Amino acid sequence: MKLSREEVEHIARLARLGLSGAEIEKFRLQLSDILENFEILKHLDTTDLPPTAQSIALQNVFRPDEAKPSLPAEDILANAPQRDSDCFKIRAVLE
């Protein structure tokens, strides 16, 4: 499916994009190529394929949460510019 210059200008207006004449032509060709690829996909027989939410299998890459002892307060506050007892002391950020 080839897009016309007017269709690309319309899409650019909808997206609030200001495009130059060269950009319009560049995007016209690129968008037309993308739509042609979708046209090819429309001809594939997908009747025996189950619906999927992901095209590749996903796995959890996070480690399980495990409770661990915390660092001592002295170690944490060792490089604090200012402290008040066992807390960081900072300037107030709210009025």
pLDDT by residue (tens digit) across 55-93?
Answer: 777 788 888 889 999 999 889 999 899 988 888 998 888
Integer CA distances (angstroms), 39 to 1, 61, 87, 89, in order: 8, 36, 63, 63
The predicted structure's pLDDT at residue 13: 94
Q: Taking the domains of the chain in order of start, what are their residue ranges?
A: 5-42
CA 49, CA 10: separation in Å to the nearest integer? 36
CATH topology for 5-42 is Histone, subunit A (1.10.20)
The predicted structure's pLDDT at residue 61: 81
To the question of pTM greater than 0.75 for the whole model, the response is no
